Amino acid sequence: MSNGNDQLAYVLINPYTIYKSRTGGVIGRLFTRTALELVAARMFAPSRELAEEYASVVVTAKDPDNRRIQMLIRQYILDNYAPHPQTGQRRRVMMLVFRGEDAAKKIRAAVGQIEPGRTVAGETIRDTYGDFILTPDNEVRYFEPAVLAARSAEEVEGRLRIWAKYSDTDGGLLEGVVRYPKDTKPQQTLVLLKPDNFRFASARPGSIVDLISRTGLFIIAIKVHHMSVEDAQEFYGPVREVLPGVYAGITGPRAKAALEKEFGFALPDGSEKALGKMIAPLAAEHQFNRIVNFMTGHTSDAEAAGDPGKMVALVYEGVDAVAKIRNVLGATDPRKAAPGTIRRELGQDIMVNAAHASDTAENARREMNIINIRENNLKPLVESFYKRKP
CATH number at residue 351: 3.30.70.141
Residues 119 and 12 in one domain: yes
Sheet strands side by side (includes 93-101): 37-44, 93-101, 6-13, 147-148
Rounded-to-integer distance, Cα 162 and Cα 157, Å: 9
User: Which amino acid, one-letter code, is at 158?
Assistant: G
User: Distance of alpha carbon 287 from its chain centroid, rounded?
Assistant: 26
Q: SS3 string of 176-203?
A: CCCCCCCCCCCEEEEEEECHHHHCCCCC
Rounded-to-integer distance, Cα 58 and Cα 70, Å: 7
pLDDT score of 134? 86
User: Distance of alpha carbon 124 from its chain centroid, rounded?
Assistant: 21
Residues 186 and 210 in one domain: yes
Residues 16 and 106 in one domain: yes
Residues 278 and 182 in one domain: no
Residues 156 and 183 in one domain: no
125 class by beta-carbon count within 10 Å (0-12 exposed, 13-18 middle, 19+ buried): buried
Structural domain boundaries, residue 165: 1-172+375-390
Residues 244 and 365 in one domain: no
Residues 12 and 151 in one domain: yes
Residues 40 and 140 in one domain: yes
* Final residue before a domain boundary, out of 249, 271, 300: 300
CB 337 within 8 A of CB 343: yes
Say what the pTM is: 0.91
Residues labelled as active-site residues: 356
Task: For the chain, 390 residues long, give each residue's pLDDT as a single digit of tens.
Answer: 445 689 999 999 999 999 999 999 999 999 999 999 999 999 999 999 999 999 999 987 766 557 888 999 999 999 999 999 999 999 999 999 999 999 999 999 999 988 766 666 778 999 999 998 888 888 888 999 999 999 999 999 999 999 999 999 999 999 999 999 999 999 999 999 999 999 889 999 999 999 999 999 999 999 999 999 999 999 999 999 999 988 888 899 999 999 999 999 999 999 988 998 899 999 999 999 999 999 998 754 444 344 568 999 999 999 999 999 999 999 988 999 999 999 999 999 888 899 999 999 999 999 999 999 999 999 999 999 998 533
Residues 38 and 103 in one domain: yes
Residues 295 and 315 in one domain: no
Residues 74 and 160 in one domain: yes
Q: How many CB atoms lie within 10 A of CB 164?
A: 22
* Final residue before a domain boundary, out of 300, 321, 346: 300
Give the chain's domain count. 3
Residues 189 and 148 in one domain: no
User: Which amino acid, one-letter code, is at 271?
Assistant: S
* Final residue before a domain boundary, out of 300, 322, 356: 300
pLDDT score of 119? 60
User: Which amino acid, one-letter code, is at 304?
Assistant: A
Angle at 316 between CA 188 and CA 83, to 5 degrees: 100
pLDDT score of 62? 67
